[in-house]
Amino acid sequence: MVRALAFRSYNCVDMNRMLRVLCSIVVAAPLLFRAQAPAPNEKVPIIDGGVGRCSLELTVLGVDRKPVYAATVTVHVKYGFGGMRRLDLEAGTNSDGKVKFAGLPARVQ
């Protein structure tokens, strides 16, 4: 009499669990490895001169036309009668290459 062997060479429960894990990895992989969205723009550093209502906003670009981070921008303003008054301001750019100078006089020399 030939006995029919009714066994499996693998465990169905373990195989189903493994299949679920692999499927979840395949589904989650594109979500995990996609390109990161750029961070929201940083605030533009504002330096206030306190002598007027005008302002100046600059964007510093490199040779490759990309914004320059932490570039030092210096502003020297002569104003008043005969340019006797002077205003020196200095600031660094943010990651977008931007900086803003506020409170500048309307009339300069």
Task: Please write the tens of the pLDDT for every residue from 54-102.
Answer: 999 999 999 999 999 999 999 999 998 888 999 999 999 999 999 999 9
Instruction: State both tokens at 27.
Output: 């589904």
Query: Are the C-beta atoms of 66 and 81 separated by less than 8 Å?
Result: no
pLDDT tens-place string over residues 7-42: 555 666 667 777 777 777 777 766 666 655 555 667
Question: What local confidence, expressed as pLDDT, does residue 1 receive?
Answer: 55
Residue 5: pLDDT over 60: no
Instruction: State both tokens at 20.
Output: 């679920």
Q: How far apart are CA 42 and CA 69, in angstroms?
A: 11
Q: Has this prediction a pTM greater than 0.85?
A: no
